[in-house]
Every structure is written in C-alpha cells, then in structure tokens.
Amino acid sequence: MILAKVADGVWLYEMPAFVADTLLSLPDWVESDDPEVRKRLLPDAYADPEEDRAWRAALGSSLEHLFATRTAIVRGDLKNLRVHAEGEGWESGEDADPEPFTPDRARFSVFIPAAHLSAWVSTLQAGTHALFILEGLSAEDLGDELDEIEDDDRKVSLVRLSVLQEILVRLIED
C-alpha cells in the first residue's frame, strides 16, 4: 500500500484486496450496536452515576451525531474505491498496464479529500477500538508475534487492526 499526500488530499493506492476490504468494513465496525463498542465510543465522563447521567443527557447525542457524520463521510469516500492492476498508477491512463489483468494482481485505490482527513483520522481511531472489542482481542494479543498465533481468525483480526493503525499514523504524520 502506498500513501501519497497531494495538494488537495491523500491517495491510498496499491492496496491489496485485504486492505481494501478492511477499509470497507470500517464504517460498520464503528456503527456497531454492540453495547461494549457503544460504551467505549461514548465513555463515562464522571465516576458518579448521577453526574454521568446528566452529562450524557446534555452531550451524549452531540457526540453520536458527530461520529455518525464522520462515518458517513468515510463511507461516501469509500464509494469511490477503484480497482486497478498491480503497478498501475492511480491517475486515469497513467502507467498503462501491458500485462493481462488477473484477480491476484488486483489493487485498490481511494482518494481522501483534504477536508475529509479529520473525519478519516477519527473514524480510523474509532474503528481500532470497535474492532478490538468485536473480535475479542486483548492487550496480550497485541504483544504477540503473528507467527506465534495459531488461531487464524485472531491473526486476521490483528492484521486488520494494524492496517487501521498504520493508515491512521501515516495520515497524521507531518
């Protein structure tokens, strides 16, 4: 995967199908109605239940609205996900691919407009929390070497999590 910062935004391209699939799943993870996910994305502000209820009544809905708006932005950008052959540039007609296109050579690209970057960063961050909870991962899992993990599903979840983290970090890098 290549991340290219251009004047009006960021291109993510040369993404293998697994990375594209992870991004396409991101909005659904963030909007999961799993109680633990909702609790993590809308955590307590006060230890005192009474104070916290008042807090949620006053501000909880504004956070929900904020998150929904950001997720909608990401979902909208992902509708423009394009498929191309490995080695092909993201610009139309650039580096025309002389080799026949085969599924294993499929790569994906998506453009994130500069005005949407903040929504993407927050949604990626929310997605890491949601995925961590939905897949039942633990802090210990994150310290394990992938080769040492026998459970394939767990391994896939950890790679998806690292994909989200890597894209997020590269987006906010100076």
Partner 1 sequence: MPPPDRATVATPWRPLRRGAWRAATQTDTAPETDTQTTTRLAPPWNVVVHDDPVTTMVYVVRVFMEIFDYGRPKAHELMMEVHTTGRAVVWTGDREQAELFVHKLHGKHLLAHLEQSDADS
Binding site for partner 1 (CB under 8 A): 41-47, 55, 59, 62-63, 66, 121-122, 125-126, 128-129, 132, 138-139, 142, 161, 165, 168-169, 172-173
Least separation, in Å, of the C-beta of 172 and partner 1? 5
Least separation, in Å, of the C-beta of 82 and partner 1? 28
Closest alpha carbon to 22 in 156, 172, 132, 174: 156
- Between 49 and 98, name the residue whose CB sits nearer to partner 1: 49
Question: What is the C-alpha to C-alpha distance for residues 139 and 174, in angstroms, rounded to an integer?
Answer: 28
- Between 22 and 128, name the residue whose CB sits nearer to partner 1: 128
- Between 83 and 156, name the residue whose CB sits nearer to partner 1: 156
- Between 82 and 165, name the residue whose CB sits nearer to partner 1: 165
Q: In what order do the strands lie in the sheet with 2-6?
A: 2-6, 9-15, 106-113, 82-85
Least separation, in Å, of the C-beta of 66 and partner 1? 6
Residues contacting residue 54 through CB under 8 Å, at least 6 positions apart: none
Least separation, in Å, of the C-beta of 96 and partner 1? 38
